[in-house]
């Protein structure tokens, strides 16, 4: 797969797969990957597999495939090597190989699906790969809103060959939903007029174990802490997409001793609308309900109306079509897993709790400041065509953390790790864990 990078300085790299003119020659004997930078062409590594990719050129969109073989000369217009808006660093371009291709006999790591009991009636679901790599660093992936660990299976199969890799489902999402009803309906209420059993969490009395349950950033932060301490057992490199990026940064700001570095993939710069009761106690009193069980009557009605729409398969397909820039990507598994989650009886009430949960005690800007103070390394990767978290947000973070590498990937939308998984795979870490890079992208040094 081809990819371009802007910013040749080690602390600021932006990746884009857009280019105007490329000529190549292929040979079946050998494969090489060239890193194209301002100072010339550098060859590195092996290309693995075949990857179909869409590229934008002006208003045209076309598909091409990169096959294993020798790459010849590449011609890329120099005006592509432009400065990033607001960042005075030169541009460079990088060619990215594909992931392991099983059709060619290459195999990825085996993924295991597991559960870990935590709080009463709550099991944390996670996936893992490469646990036999006992002396290798740990990488923990945190998912975006509405998805789960399944969204990182490409990274698990690739990275799991060399590292210990983990991916979580946040409580209230994916397969980390409760296995008992937090607020059961009465027998009379539990059956609707058409004979279907109603959703969990819509009763008027909360079960004792769920009396303080609210699916908030603070709960997820606590969940990540528990998982790292009790399951992984040592500090990790955190990678988070969208909501997962927000939680990763929030966690790193609060527990820097458990984090070796953070990579943000189109991280949302804000989460939740209601004020935090610790940070703004007076303002929080104006909102008597903040995501706990049972749900107020008005919220039940609103949730049922919204849930009927957003859980509809057509609506889910429309959202995926919107956030994926490259429509040639196969999202069947992502689609089916999201549908599976929406059919869990606790899904609708969990959604209501998430939507009305209070904000965290720290803002996104405050978490960035704390991470800088504690010298937590940060890497930024943003899909250029994201309609929600545009690269502008990533550049704003870059200005606040100027030492952070910044990669802009195109064509890629809100989920660059799924659209361009070649870019979101770790390449090398030094013997003292002092270096980390993303496979086939220029490395950056971690400040430990």
First CA to last CA across the chain, in angstroms? 33
Tens of pLDDT, residue by residue over 134-159, are: 999 999 999 999 999 999 999 999 88
Question: How far apart, in whole angstroms, are the C-alpha atoms of residue 133 and residue 163?
Answer: 6
At 81 the pLDDT is 29
395 neighbors 86 (Cβ within 8 angstroms): yes
Q: Which two tokens stand for residue 230?
A: 């009790």
pLDDT in tens, 96-127: 556 666 666 678 899 999 999 998 899 999 99
C-beta separation of 196 from 225 below 8 A: no
Q: What's the token pair of residue 375?
A: 């010298």
| pTM reported for the whole predicted model | 0.78
Task: Give the H/E segment covering residue 336.
Answer: helix 332-342
Buried b (16+ CB within 10 A) or exposed e, 432-446: eeeebbbbbbbbbeb
Confidence (pLDDT) at 266? 96
Cα-based distances in Å from 218 to 168, 248, 408: 16, 12, 30
d(CA 432, CA 445): 12
pLDDT at 97: 56
Spatial separation of the C-alpha atoms in residues 194 and 61, rounded to whole Å: 48
Question: Domains in the chain and their CATH numbers?
Answer: 1-107+388-448 (no CATH), 112-376 (3.40.50.1820)
User: Each residue's pLDDT tens digit in the chain (448 positions)?
Assistant: 333 333 333 344 444 444 322 233 223 333 222 222 222 222 223 333 323 332 222 223 323 222 222 222 222 223 332 333 344 455 455 555 566 666 666 788 999 999 999 988 999 999 999 999 999 999 999 999 999 999 999 999 988 988 999 999 999 999 999 999 999 987 665 544 333 445 899 999 999 999 999 999 999 999 999 999 999 999 999 999 999 999 999 999 999 999 999 999 999 999 998 988 888 888 888 888 999 999 999 999 999 999 999 999 999 999 999 999 988 889 999 999 999 999 999 999 999 999 999 999 999 999 999 999 999 999 899 999 999 999 889 899 999 999 888 888 888 999 999 998 887 765 444 434 433 444 444 333 322 2
Q: Is the peptide bond before 294 cis (omega within 30 degrees of 0)?
A: yes
What pLDDT score does 249 carry?
97
Burial class (CB in 10 A: 0-12, 13-18, 19+), 205: exposed
User: Please, which contacts does 314-317 make with residues 24 or more away whose CB atoms are closer than 8 Å?
Assistant: 316/342
Q: Which two tokens stand for residue 239?
A: 């990678």
Which two three-digit tokens encode residue 412? Answer: 């890629």
């Amino acid at each position: 797969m081809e990819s371009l990078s802007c910013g040749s300085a080690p602390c600021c790299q932006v990746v884009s797969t857009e280019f105007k003119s490329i000529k190549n020659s292929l040979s079946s004997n050998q494969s090489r990957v060239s890193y194209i930078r301002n100072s010339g062409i550098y060859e590195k590594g092996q290309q693995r597999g075949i990857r179909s990719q869409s590229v934008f050129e002006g208003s045209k969109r076309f598909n091409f495939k990169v096959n294993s073989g020798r790459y010849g000369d590449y011609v890329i217009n120099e005006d592509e090597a432009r400065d990033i808006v607001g960042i005075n660093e030169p541009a460079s371009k990088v060619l990215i190989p594909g992931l392991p291709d099983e059709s060619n006999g290459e195999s990825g790591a085996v993924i295991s699906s597991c559960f870990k009991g935590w709080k009463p009636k709550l099991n944390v679901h996670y996936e893992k790969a490469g646990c036999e790599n006992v002396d290798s660093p740990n990488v923990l992936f945190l998912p975006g809103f509405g998805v789960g660990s399944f969204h990182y299976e490409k990274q698990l199969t690739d990275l799991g060959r060399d590292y210990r890799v983990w991916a979580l489902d946040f409580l209230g999402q994916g397969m980390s939903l409760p296995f008992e009803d937090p607020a059961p309906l009465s027998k009379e209420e539990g059956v609707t007029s058409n004979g279907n059993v109603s959703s969990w969490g819509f009763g008027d009395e909360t079960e004792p174990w769920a009396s303080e349950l609210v699916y908030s950033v603070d709960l997820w932060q606590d969940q990540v802490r528990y998982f790292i301490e009790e399951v992984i057992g040592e500090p990790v490199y955190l990678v988070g997409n969208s909501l997962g990026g927000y939680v990763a940064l929030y966690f790193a700001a609060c527990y820097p001793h458990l984090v070796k570095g953070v990579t943000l993939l189109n991280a949302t710069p804000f989460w939740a609308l209601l004020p935090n009761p610790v940070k703004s106690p007076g303002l929080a009193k104006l909102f008597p309900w903040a995501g706990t069980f049972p749900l107020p009557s008005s919220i039940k009605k609103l949730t049922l109306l919204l849930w009927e729409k957003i859980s509809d398969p057509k609506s889910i397909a429309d959202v995926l079509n919107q956030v994926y820039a490259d429509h040639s990507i196969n999202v069947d598994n992502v689609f089916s897993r999201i549908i599976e989650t929406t059919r869990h009886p606790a899904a609708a009430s969990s959604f209501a709790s998430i939507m009305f949960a209070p904000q965290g005690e720290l803002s996104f800007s405050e978490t960035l400041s704390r991470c800088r103070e504690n010298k937590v390394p940060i890497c930024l990767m943003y899909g250029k065509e994201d309609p929600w978290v545009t690269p502008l947000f990533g550049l704003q973070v870059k200005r606040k953390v100027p030492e952070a590498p910044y990669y802009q990937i195109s064509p890629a939308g809100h989920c660059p790790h799924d659209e361009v998984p070649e870019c979101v795979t770790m390449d090398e870490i030094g013997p003292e864990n002092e270096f980390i890079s993303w496979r086939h992208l220029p490395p950056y040094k971690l400040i430990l």
